[in-house]
Structure 1
Amino acid sequence: MKVGFFITCLVDAMRPSIGFAAIRLLESAGCQVEVPMAQTCCGQPAYNSGDRATARALAEKLLDEFERFEHVVLPSGSCGGMIKAHYADLFAGDPELSRRYALLQPRVHELTDFLVNVVKIESVPGTGFSGRVTYHDSCSGLRELGVKAQPRSLIGQLPGVTLSEMAQCEQCCGFGGTFSVKYGDISGAIVDEKCGHIEATGADAVVLGDLGCMLNIEGRLRRRGNERTRVIHIAELLAGEGR
């Protein structure tokens, strides 16, 4: 199974270890993984800011680079949601781009959804973490892609790891891309509430599937004086790198 891996610009710039962990997971599942080196952004920041021209150009670029693959996988519900739920809007009015996108769209997968529903793996290599975790459902992955049971199913395959659900696990962390910049006070209040729910579980770590949420939650936990609770991307946990 040939997979084109979309790194996401945030992972590439801020936490490339997540990308490497995801690739190791895919390879351990028997996938042949290729990373197009000219890839950049999915266009979500531009799209959310009303810059449709830039978003359209980036969407066309991604289509050119990835339409040859049997599957496209990415470690982010946010970018996955942009590609699967919003590219049709960007390509509306262009029959040829719309046709090409219609062929690609069903082959785009968030990482955990791909592992559970396409590859159907029954074991994961992760052995680097033991303890109690709680899971934060990132907004786009949950609401645009239906990612909910998939990561929990995979966590359940890890020996020595116990999942404790937090209150309001589906509530936004307050990041929301440029929302956290434009409405800093509101964003801060939202993530502060999220951190309270995380801490109330007594979990050793909070696990999640979007780096934007990771950075937001981890930053707030540390500013609250919490140096104990770890913040781990699901790819790193499953790949055995959540030590």
Structure 2
Amino acid sequence: MTNTCIITGASRGIGRAIAVELSKHQEIDNFILMARSEDGLVETRDQMDGQHNIQVVAIDLTDYVQVKEQVHLIGEEYGTIDMLINVAGYANPKSLLETSVEDWEKTYQINIHSLFNITKETVKFMKNTGGKILNVASTAGSSSRPGWSAYASSKAALISFSQTISDELSDYNILVYCVSPGRCATELRKVLAPDEDPTTIMQPEHVGEVVSHLLSEDGVCLDGQDIVIRKQVVKSMKKETANKTS
């Protein structure tokens, strides 16, 4: 049986880093990379291990009907969807009084509603064979972030959604993971903290390594939790991995 993995937000940042890292896994046969930027997706594909079948799908995840149709095409073509990795996100940090209803709704459309939609459609296939879902939230979802209310509250909703469906889908042998990266040098982070030096904080590749670990057999007991990823967590995991291989 072939193994098929969908990754959203794969055109840059953490999504790209996860795709590149997972392409080192021999057991994943098919990768479907999704984002709005086709050029960015092609760049990601070019950085991945070419031994896999890699499909690029330029799509607006808030077009719920198109996403539903695309997921069903994938499920029918490959027979199963074994992994779904939800990375796509949006942020436009404003204070409460500066945040418009339109931007609040856009934040939730991308960070929550579109994720709900693709997850629901994927589970229709995944429930027959089991699988793994990984959602990328943020530490902003579990602490006070003045000036980031739309983004932070959407990530809090994602953490809760992940924990809830982890219990709900366990009968189908579907494991649900939620990771909350701290400060990470992504384009999204530049929007949230434009004056920050990106070389002083965690890099997307670090998150990719942790996600790769979670989706391996070693991460089987870590589902259903809000897993915080910070620099010190990455270092300790690297040390643990080195000890296992020595």
Scaled by the length of structure 1, what TM-score is found? 0.40
Scaled by the length of structure 2, what TM-score is found? 0.40
